Amino acid sequence: MGKRIIKYIKKILYCLVQVIYSGDESCVICSGYSEESEALCTVCRKKLRRSEESFYIGSSEEEYVARSVFYYSSIVKELIIRLKYKNDFICGEILAKYMLESVKNNYLEFDLISYVPMTKRALKNRGYNQSEFLAKYLSQFLSIPVTCNLIKTEDTKDQIGLSGDQRWDNMKKCFEIKGSEFIKNKNILLVDDVITTGATAFHCAHMLKENGANNIFILTIAKSNV
């Protein structure tokens, strides 16, 4: 009963946010005119660079299929930064809608949604996990549960500025799994914001697979070059 009430309250809050922002016709990026149903204007939407093809991360010994909605270009970068560091959940919702569109357009099928975790310290400092926000948005509209089994046990160096090899070494042995019985034989969508070398997503997927998951498919908002 308690979970139902919480879910109901979340839906009410979501509807209230929609009402509050429904009359705002300014683009969140350039403040230009935007259609009522869109938070980005036509000019900014045209600057979005779609990433059409899926790709693999890992090696021939162990690899996972991944897909990114966009390339990491100026508009997408600004939206991600605002979500990640400025508590701008309207920008987060814009990105999540595009992820939802990608799931539907590419007929992705899975039993659970997971996301790249943060350490307790990092989560306390920021106040929220942007990847969890995206995962829960997808869960709400796909009616597929989110699993919180992945745990990040160590604070790592910021990946920005590290070489490809350094990024992979940075992520080794810093993820664990709890409650592995919930993921056994399940197909899982692993969500994150940006994929560069794929080191973070790979090690998360590896832990899910090692603990009994069936197939893991990785979905991110953007993909970047090192």
- pLDDT, tens digit, 9 for 90 and up, residues 153-188: 887 655 555 666 666 777 777 899 998 899 999 999
Give the whole-angstrom CA distance, residue 179 versus residue 186: 13
User: 144 and 112 in contact (C-beta within 8 Å)?
Assistant: yes
Q: What is the pLDDT of residues 97-127, one digit of tens each?
A: 999 999 999 999 999 999 999 999 999 999 9
Q: Best-predicted range by mean pLDDT among 13-22, 168-177, 204-213?
A: 204-213
Percent share of the chain, pLDDT over 70: 82
In degrees and rounded to multiples of 5, residue 176 shows phi and psi of -135, 170
pLDDT range class, residue 52, cuts 50, 70, 90: confident
Q: Is the dihedral of CA 108, 72, 97, 178 positive or negative?
A: positive
> How many C-beta neighbours within 10 Å does residue 117 have?
21
Does the pLDDT at position 2 exceed 70? Answer: no
With tokens 């009963």, the residue in question is 1
Q: Which domains does the chain have, with CATH numbers?
A: 1-46 (no CATH), 49-223 (3.40.50.2020)
Q: What is the pLDDT of residues 124-152, one digit of tens each?
A: 999 999 999 999 999 999 999 999 999 99
Give the whole-angstrom CA distance, residue 185 versus residue 213: 5
**What one-character-per-residue DSSP string does 90-150 give?**
HHHHHHHHHHHHHHHHTT---SEEEE----HHHHHHHSS-HHHHHHHHHHHHHT-PBP--E
User: 219 and 139 in contact (C-beta within 8 Å)?
Assistant: no
Please tell me the total number of residues recorded for the chain in this structure. 226
**Residue 124, both tokens:** 């306390």
Mean of pLDDT values over 26-32: 88
Q: What is the pTM of this model?
A: 0.84
